[in-house]
Structure 1
Amino acid sequence: MFREPKKNATNSNEQQNKEEPEKLPIPASKREFLDVLKEKVHSPADLVIKNISATVTIVYLDFLIDGKILNEQILPILEKEQSAPPKTIKEKLPIAEIDLSAELNKSVLEMLIGAVLIHSEGHSELVIAKISSYQSRGLSAPENESQVIGSQVGFNENLATNISLIRRYITNPNLCNEKFTLGKDTMTSLSVLYIDGIASEQHVNTIRQRIEDLDISDLLDSAVLSELIDDNSFSMFPQLLLTERPDRFCDGLLSGKVGIVVNGSSMAILCPYTFIEFFQSREDQNLRWQIATFIRLLRFMAMIISIFFTPIYVAALTFHYEVIPQPLLVPLSESRAIVPFPPIIEALVLELIIELLREAGARLPTKVGQTIGIVGGIVLGTAAVEAGITSNILIIIIALCALASFTTPNYLMGNVIRILRFPIIILAGFWGFFGVMLAFCFLIIHLLRQSSLGAPYMAPIYPPRWKDWPDSFIRMPLPFISRQSVNSRAQSNNQETNENLAKEEKVIR
């Protein structure tokens, strides 16, 4: 299921000829047609065959079609036109999506996604009436991206419903929707959406090429697709945003990003995305700029605390007692007097306990999970201190780091922050502050090397994008914010715009 490098033209043509299914004709005889069709789909229990007359037969899969349309619009017409040829039946049926097909494989694929096959005795063509009807849950509030002020509607698993939600937000004729199908076994439909004239054509072409180059057997969720088409699958940091909010998705499209909606998934993909944007919330646009700026700075401070606070504690107690203020030395010594483990073991054990509690609370039912998280944390923390396994101060530090990691508005980025603590704690336990600085330098270098759809991952910090700074760490008043970021906007033919971009690129050199 990994993206393979593009093959040369000769090998690609040979492979395509080998994998291209044989074009089987439609048998003119009804009995032969049904025999071949049953053999093709292995006679499933939900295969429905109805003989309308001696010459007309309809075939479909139960639960995949709209029974009301079938009974009210198709069957009455077929009962009147019992001996009509396929072309006449196609003209008579009041169905929006209807087609003629002379290929058996194509007809079977259409039936598998919710079409009715109409066969007439003596004709080697089928009428394909597409009246699919999939069961899906109703619209509800997003569970992972909640907000107080703003829309309370989230995507669901139906592609058509999600597209309609997007078009309700953006009534723009330039909103483009390109449909693709991925997965040899699942035949999953997905749509690539962007606004022509706003989104960069280079980014659209990149997404289009990466999707077309994929050779996978199945695709069940958009999270899998995001990993397959991102720039660096070996990096822990997410390079594409997964969101369940239509308002955030549309806000990204209006700012020049490219979106992907996958059928069967309630999460949509937005790209390109920078590191700073993962710490921004859609609710920031709905708050006053002073409050939004304070909350953003609080998130970045929480990220730093969550990653480095515990490693600094371990390094200070292991190698660098001189950095600890004298008033704190006595409480620290008394707290650790009966602890038999070195600080690195003590910190790692507590971090693992926190992760176990969090994972148990996430997998259990909601009410039970909340109880396990609260009671488990209190009981285990109190018991650990009384048993002399850990100190009171480290309990406070670990709890603060865990709490700070939950302030990140993006779930994937929050997971990365939690995992990063472990290798940094180990380095701090072996090399002290030198290990912490080594981890910090490695982290910065890794982030500077990353890209999202070819765009710099650390913009607008590096390369400097001064026009994007008013909506980065801080959120300035809306009139001062550029609607389209430099990374995602379409390249303009305006000479002044190109000159400004060239000046910004000179900073790199």
Structure 2
Amino acid sequence: MNLSAHTQEQRLESITDVLAACGRSDDFMTRDITIGSLPLEFCYYKTLIDSHLLEIVIHALQEQTAIDTVVSLHDLITHIPLEELKVSDQSDEVLQALLQGSLLIRCLTHEQEIILVPMTGKEGIRSNNDTENEFSVIGPKVGFVESLPVNLHLIRMQLRTTNLIVKEITIGSLSQSKVAILYVEGIVNPDNVTRMEERLKAIDFDVVFDTSQLDQLIADNSFTPFPLFTTTERRDRVIYALITGQVAVISDGSPSFITGPSTLFDFFVSPEDYYLPWALGSFFRLIRIFGVIFSLFASALYVALMTFHYEVVPKELLGKLISTRQSVPFPPLFEAIFLETTIEFLREAGARLPNRIGQTLGVVGGIILGQAAVEAALTSNVLIIIVSLSALASFVTPIYKMSNAIRFLRFPIILLASLWGALGIAIGLCFLLVHLSRLKSLGSPYMSPFFPMRFNDLKDSLIRASYEQTNTRPSYLRPLSFIRYKPGKMHRTNRLDEE
């Protein structure tokens, strides 16, 4: 009978069993060293630890060989120039520490005395922490990397307060991945923290590759295409979520955080909105929302008009549409599906290829295929323009997961438009609104502040009001402190009045 790795590790009841199990691997090393009159054994995975730190520890201990007072492992702790040392005699704790890159030091005369020295290696961690998917035109460009300590350091560098609390748990029976939960005490509602912690601890999974997996495992509804937690690789977005009362989660080996509870409108907010004057920030946010609506319904509206509703098209435009479609042998549904699928092929191919080749493929391939499709009478010029604008508009959302949801939803709405025209689009829109109104993120309504209606939160939803108006935290988060800052009026003197 096959047993999971988690079950097999539970059988290791003693330190000797742990070392015997680890010793089956060729990268597990043991070294015998005598410090003073104390015979020691060093055990570690050479593929996990920092070899430079190991030499520092050995050198520091060998300098104590002339000191006769070193008679136990407790005497050695003061001579090891590293932090977070731990003394343990629990086999499960020792095993977990070894697998996370710790050095095990034990005395051969007292084998149950164990010192665990964390010295995880930094090889393979990229030093460039520029954001890959969330580009910043204005404002800081600090992103995260695949190292949990580095990411927590970046957060601490901006939030210099003792109220920033970090809780670490371990998830993954095989990966034993560290997952950190971050929140600001005194602001966040404790119920949100408890709910997030309970959901993460209830996860039974083998390997956690990325924080996005946790997003799916703890989501309130796994049958929705919409992301229920905001995924970001930007530090300023995580900081803003923490100070408004949200909870942030990140796993070791992942360059992105998830924050929640989130609302639908969080996915249309860009940190750049707060770096620009409020009027410009509001304008660009409205542009994003309009772009998503256009991307979602433009192709479906073309199919509905060309199939059922010629009468609503102006005469001047109707002639152009008829002339562009008179040589196309396919109905508008097949025409739209063909172009939308072609766009998706180009997107996926461009995303998987190297940057330079991908950009060339996207531009040249789109031009060549579009021109060839028109000349071969497979589609009309008007639909190519509509589909191209829809594909462009789907990327105006700052969060990539939301743009994926919009891309997916276009296809069923096109099918509904081909069946019942404008009525089909209206049915699809109603189903979409009902589905969104039923969604929750960490128990909070996904459509807030519009459902349920919260008038005080509207000032930072569709538009972004001035800083004099946005001094309170969203009420749907139920924060312990609603006031962020007190916007006192600045006394602006006019130099002409002084003369």
Calculate the TM-score normalised by the size of structure 1: 0.88
Partner of 2:25: 44
Separation in 2, partners of 1:316, 1:258: 46
Q: Report the CA distance between 1:38 and its aligned residue.
A: 5.2
Where does residue 85 of structure 1 map in the other structure?
72
Match of 2:302 in 1: 313
CA distance in structure 2 between the partners assigned to 1:370 and 1:311 by the alignment: 28
> Kindly, what percent of the aligned residue pairs are identical?
39
Instruction: State the Cα RMSD in Å.
Output: 2.0
- Choose which of 45, 70, 74 in structure 1 pairs with 2:54: 70
In the alignment, is the contact (CA less than 8 A) between 1:198 and 1:255 conserved in 2? yes
Does 2:128 match 1:144? Answer: no
Q: Deviation of residue 218 (structure 1)?
A: 1.8
Select 2:239's aligned residue among 250, 269, 288: 250
Deviation at 1:317, TM superposition (A): 0.9
**CA distance in 2: counterparts of 1:273 and 1:19, whole angstroms:** 39
> Residue 379 of structure 1: which of 365, 368, 389 is its match?
368
2:201 is the alignment partner of 1:217: no
The one of 220, 238, 248 equivalent to 1:259 is 248
State whether residues 137 and 156 of structure 1, in contact with CA within 8 Å, keep that contact through their aligned partners in structure 2.
Answer: yes
Tell me if structure 1 keeps the 8 A contact 2:291–2:393: yes
Q: Which amino acid aligns with 2:30?
A: I
User: How far apart, CA to CA, are the structure 2 residues paired with 1:430 and 1:49?
Assistant: 71
2:166–2:180: 8 Å Cα contact kept in structure 1? Answer: yes
- Establish whether residue 129 from structure 1 lines up as the match of residue 117 from structure 2: yes
Please name the residue that 1:104 is paired with: 91
CA distance in 1, matches of 2:138, 2:199: 37
Using the TM superposition, give the Cα deviation of residue 49 of structure 1 relative to its aligned residue in structure 2, in angstroms.
Answer: 1.7
Q: Is 1:480 matched with 2:465? A: no
Counterpart pick for 1:323 among 298, 303, 312: 312
Q: Paired residue for 1:506? A: none
How far has the Cα of 1:22 moved from its partner? 4.3
Amino acid at match of 2:325: R
Alignment of structure 1 residues 197-346 onto 2, 5 Å: 197-346=186-335
Instruction: Give the drift of 1:208.
Output: 0.9
Q: Give a deviation string over 1:311-346, Cα, whole Å, max 9, x none.
A: 111111111111111111111111111100000010
Which ranges in structure 1 are unaligned for 5 or more consecutive residues? 1-16, 27-32, 495-509
Q: Secondary structure at the match of 2:447?
A: coil
CA distance in 1 between partners of 2:216 and 2:414 (Å)? 28
Corresponding residue for residue 155 of structure 1: 144
Taking the aligned partners of 1:289 and 1:314, their CA distance within structure 2 comes to 38
**How far apart are the structure 2 equivalents of 1:281 and 1:248?**
8
Q: Which runs of at least 4 in structure 1 moved beyond 6 Å after TM superposition?
A: 17-20
Deviation at 1:37, TM superposition (A): 4.8
**Which of 361, 364, 370 in structure 1 is aligned with 2:359?**
370
Which residue in the other structure is 1:56 paired with? 40
Q: Say whether 1:182 aligns with 2:166.
A: no
Structure 2 Cα separation of the partners of residues 103 and 456 of structure 1: 44
Q: Which amino acid aligns with 2:104?
A: L
**Which residue does 1:497 correspond to in 2?**
none
Residues 187, 481 of structure 2: 8 Å contact kept = no
Paired amino acid for 2:40: V
Q: Which moved more, 1:83-92 or 1:275-284?
A: 83-92
In structure 2, distance between residues paired with 1:129 and 1:300 = 52
Contact 1:23–1:103 (Cα < 8 Å) also in 2: no
> What does residue 9 of structure 1 align with?
none
Q: For 1:118, give the aligned amino acid.
A: I
Q: Assess if the C-alpha contact under 8 Å between 1:139 and 1:153 holds in 2.
A: no
What amino acid does structure 2 have at the position aligned with 1:125? E
Aligned length: 470
* 2:71 partner SS: coil
Whole-angstrom CA distance in 1 between matches of 2:482 and 2:468: 24
Counterpart position of 1:425:
414
Alpha-carbon distance in structure 2 between the residues aligned to 1:76 and 1:276? 56
- 2:495 matched to which residue of 1? none
1 CA distance for matches of 2:59 and 2:247?
43
CA drift at 1:230: 1.2
For residues 206-252 of structure 1, the C-alpha deviation after alignment (integer angstroms, 9 at most, x for no partner) is 10111111122221110000110111111100010110001110111
Contiguous gaps of at least 5 residues in structure 2 = 1-5, 484-499
For the 8 Å contact 1:142–1:245, the answer to whether it is kept is yes
Counterpart of 1:70 in structure 2: which amino acid?
Answer: L
Most deviating of 72-81 and 463-472: 72-81
The match for 2:3 is none
The Cα of 1:21 is off from its aligned counterpart by 2.1
Residue in structure 1 matching 2:82, options 89, 95, 108: 95
For 2:386 and 2:180, how far apart are their aligned partners in 1?
45
Secondary structure in 2 matching 1:147: coil
Contact 1:66 1:133 survives alignment (8 Å)? yes
Separation in 2, partners of 1:478, 1:43: 62
Deviations 1:444-494 (A, max 9, x none): 000000111111111111111111111111111111114411122424699
- Equivalent residue letter for 1:132: T
What is the distance in 2 between the residues matched to 1:303 and 1:415? 11
CA apart distance, 1:285: 0.3
Q: Deviations over 1:334-389 (max 9, x none)?
A: 11111000000101001000110111111100000011111111111101111111
Instruction: Tell me if the contact between 1:310 and 1:398 (Cα under 8 Å) persists in the aligned partners.
Output: yes
Q: Deviations for 1:399-425, whole angstroms, at most 9, x for unmatched residues? A: 111111111111000011111110011
In the alignment, is the contact (CA less than 8 A) between 2:246 and 2:261 conserved in 1? yes
**Alpha-carbon deviation of 1:66?**
3.0
Structure 2 counterpart of 1:416: 405
Residue type at the aligned position of 2:412: P
The 3-state SS of whatever aligns with 1:57 is strand
- Cα pair distance change 1:451/1:133, threshold 3 Å: same
Q: Is the 8 A contact 1:52 1:58 kept in 2?
A: yes
Q: Identify the residue that residue 6 of structure 1 maps to in structure 2.
A: none
Q: SS at 2:131's partner residue? A: coil
- Please state whether the residue corresponding to 1:312 is helix, strand or coil: helix
TM-score of the superposition, structure 2-length normalised? 0.90
Equivalence for 2:388:
399
